[in-house]
Structure 1
Amino acid sequence: MLNLVTHPLRLHADPSRVVVRPFHIAWQSNGTTPSRTERMVTAVLAMSPEETRHQLEVVLKDFEARHWQTRRVFMTRYDEIEAQLGLDGSQIGDEKRQLIGAYFCHEYSYAAAALMNPSAVPHFDQSGMQPGSLRILMSMRSVGEGHISSVAFREGIITDQNEMRLAPEPPFATAADAIGDEETAPAGPVTVYRHRDSTLSGTVIFPITQAQSKGLEDMRLVHFTHDDGQQEWLGTYTAYNGSQIQSELLRTRDFRAFDLVPMTGSAARNKGMGLFPRKVNGKYMMIGRQDGENLFLIESDTLTHWDEGALLLTPEYPWELVQIGNCGPPIELDEGWLVLTHGVGAMRKYSIGAVLLDKQDPSKVIGRTREPILAAANEDREGYVPNVVYSCGALRHGDKLFIPYGVADSSVAFAFVDIQSLLSVM
């Protein structure tokens, strides 16, 4: 029998979770000169000291109590504008610099609509952990104004006794940001940086490039080990611009700087790609869904170029007859590669199952679950998209599998599964 324990904790959308985002006004301009950036800065510089102080007091009255180190955020944003325009900051007082920074920021409620589709990896810092405990790091898809998706993070600890405790969210969140040209929206690979004083649980990664403009969706994090033993955290996600999708890759070694890299190749035009945590037989490997219906095994010589793969798995059981896909990167066990799957059945009800692949040859399917291991329960059916449970990545801790999962595209729930009991039902 399957030994699965659900945890009582739920994470929900929260409109009060707001962040100060850089407002790259010039990215929305039509190319007229002088630039809107320059025009606005000139207007502030022309204000009298009294008017500057009054306008800054109005801004601070509205927002200082709602955000973390507001004046410092404004000054940091001013520094970016100064570098872009070549201003001489020594000739500009603090109040004018803060006000200029405020004009190039805006407040955004990043999880007002939904919090969903998490993935989990071991945290990069395991210092101070008691035996049986593991510090974890989760990514979650947060959905805010305009149904724009961003990546939020949450740290916590799990134990081998099915316990979990999440690190407190800081009262204020901050947005990771790119450094560079204020006049042109970045294209292609871009690097964003966590604010030097922000915790990871208080950091949000927003769309930066035009290809990402409507959302960063469903990141599947994996702790990757390279052939030389170097460790890297990688995350495959879907970049969406309102009409087209593109698979991209997040890369980080320290969770301070994040490279957001578009992937190329015919397979990268699809979503839901799950990366193996190491090379297999000298190849990088992914599990993906190229046709919107079946699962494929994809191989590559590089991490950023992926062409068509080989058919791996087709829908077989009633709960997955509409389509199947992965629920995160494969997990290495002694018995093989464990892949959580999602299946779509009648009334487009989503459920989570599992597949075991051969460790030496992942194109061979050793077993699969005939019934879902998780499905929408009565108390979990309602939400933005009803009747959906969905994960972007579980992790192994000892003989347990920790599964964070989205519920009804609205909230995040958690479960622990005994791995041997899971293998026994395949």
Structure 2
Amino acid sequence: MIEVKKEGVILSKSDLEFENEGILNPAIIRVGDSVHVFYRAVQLWNQSTIGYCRLDGPFNVAERGDKPLIVPEFSYESQGVEDPRIVKIDDTYYMSYTGYDGTNARGALATSKDLVHFTKQGLVVPDISYAHFVFLVESAGKVNENYYHNHKFYYQESDPDKKILLWDKNVVFFPRKINGNLVFLHRIRPGIQIVSVKNIKDLTPEYWENYFQNFQDHIVMDPVYQHECNYIGGGCPPIETKHGWLLIYHGVEETENGLVYSACAALLDLNDPSKELARLPNALFSPEYNWELNGYVNNVCFPTGTALFGDTLFIYYGAADSSIACASLNLTALVEELTAKYRNNEK
């Protein structure tokens, strides 16, 4: 078993208006000895922006902004910019996030050269209805039947005229180009899918039509184990190791106490990350302390970023949708555990 140390809450909401309801689900990137934290800040009435702070080392707050860094500007994000992740590819920082317009939640992208000024690139996921998604996927052949089990969400009896587009979120970029392409994970419930393109501008309506007509080829992972049986989704940006890409993702299980969000771990092939090599059969860590069990949404450990100091991997996560907490573990031990499972799978 991997030894995981819960380091506790490192950031909580303040009295500032833009974050007086909660802070959670941070994008994390280490530059030198500093850890830059771009977090979802929630104000009353559940409107989200992205706030910023800088840590000296893995925990100590050295700087914290008194106003949001990124705010809603466009119709697709009019009610919130949420749940960012960040990587650096070549000389550019890629911050993916969820744009929420009050009805639809979809993955978007902003880029920066300096971690201060960000330019929004728009949505990077398909702008289609659920019905059209199902129509296209049906032509793709056999796909996990749970992809068709979302009708009650998309066609709500309380508001049958409400037009809910396909929810596609948890966009997480790989931190370098693979075979010359930009590669990112995204999530259409219940699994995790992958996209590989030369340029973001290649994500045209025609691209997505073809993508969904070959949908099975793009599914990286579907739920397997009990702790992730409802659905899974991308978490932290993948970490490159000599044995494969380490993916810290989230898994969701419905229990008698409601949905439980846990942090999970898997290993993907270095040259073809659409190929899963191994995953842990148990959650890496799950809600157990009060700050994870009770909050705006109970029973949530939602990992979204990591920082590596020596061989210690610090995993930052949203705790009960109310605060930001951190857990730590030995990176080598985790990769070895996954590698051992990969070797056993090959036998």
TM-score by length of 2: 0.77
Counterpart of 1:287?
185
Matched, 1:369 2:280: yes
SS state at 1:421 partner = helix
Counterpart of 1:7?
7
Q: Check whether the contact 2:287–2:301 (CA below 8 A) recurs between aligned residues.
A: yes
Matched, 1:147 2:46: yes
Which of 271, 296, 316 is 2:169 aligned to? 271
* Separation in structure 1 between the aligned mates of residue 302 and residue 260 of structure 2, nearest angstrom: 11
Counterpart of 1:169?
64
Residue 404 of structure 1 deviates from its aligned partner by 0.8
Looking at secondary structure, tell me which structure has more strand per residue.
2
SS state at 1:266 partner = coil
Counterpart of 2:320?
408
* Separation in structure 2 between the aligned mates of residue 266 and residue 397 of structure 1, nearest angstrom: 37
Which of 174, 198, 203 is 1:301 aligned to? 198
In structure 1, list runs of 5 or more residues that go unmatched: 18-108, 127-133, 175-202, 226-230
Task: Encode CA deviations 1:40-87: one digit per residue, 9 max, x unaligned.
Answer: xxxxxxxxxxxxxxxxxxxxxxxxxxxxxxxxxxxxxxxxxxxxxxxx
Counterpart of 1:257?
117
SS state at 1:349 partner = strand
Aligned positions of 1:8-407 closer than 5 A: 8-14=8-14, 16-17=15-16, 109-123=17-31, 126=32, 134-158=33-57, 164-169=59-64, 173-174=66-67, 203-225=68-90, 231-264=91-124, 266=126, 270-290=168-188, 292-306=189-203, 307=208, 308=211, 310-347=218-255, 348-379=259-290, 380-407=292-319
Residue 304 of structure 1 deviates from its aligned partner by 4.6
* Separation in structure 2 between the aligned mates of residue 267 and residue 232 of structure 1, nearest angstrom: 26
Q: Check whether the contact 1:140–1:151 (CA below 8 A) recurs between aligned residues.
A: yes
Residue 235 of structure 1 deviates from its aligned partner by 0.7
Task: Encode CA deviations 1:318-371: one digit per residue, 9 max, x unaligned.
Answer: 000000111122111122111111000132111011111111121221211111
* Separation in structure 1 between the aligned mates of residue 74 and residue 272 of structure 2, nearest angstrom: 38
Aligned residue type for 2:12: H
Aligned residue type for 1:371: N
Matched, 1:424 2:336: yes
SS state at 2:227 partner = helix
Higher CA-based Rg: 1
* Separation in structure 2 between the aligned mates of residue 267 and residue 325 of structure 1, nearest angstrom: 19
The 10-residue stretch of structure 1 (307-316 or 266-275) with the greater mean CA deviation from structure 2: 266-275
* Separation in structure 2 between the aligned mates of residue 3 and residue 289 of structure 1, nearest angstrom: 28
State the superposition RMSD in angstroms: 1.9
Q: Check whether the contact 1:315–1:323 (CA below 8 A) recurs between aligned residues.
A: yes
* Separation in structure 2 between the aligned mates of residue 341 and residue 155 of structure 1, nearest angstrom: 24
Residue 265 of structure 1 deviates from its aligned partner by 5.2
SS state at 2:6 partner = strand
Residue 397 of structure 1 deviates from its aligned partner by 3.3
Counterpart of 2:133?
none
Residue 303 of structure 1 deviates from its aligned partner by 2.7
* Separation in structure 1 between the aligned mates of residue 202 and residue 45 of structure 2, nearest angstrom: 31
* Separation in structure 1 between the aligned mates of residue 5 and residue 82 of structure 2, nearest angstrom: 28
Report how many aligned residue pairs link the two structures: 285
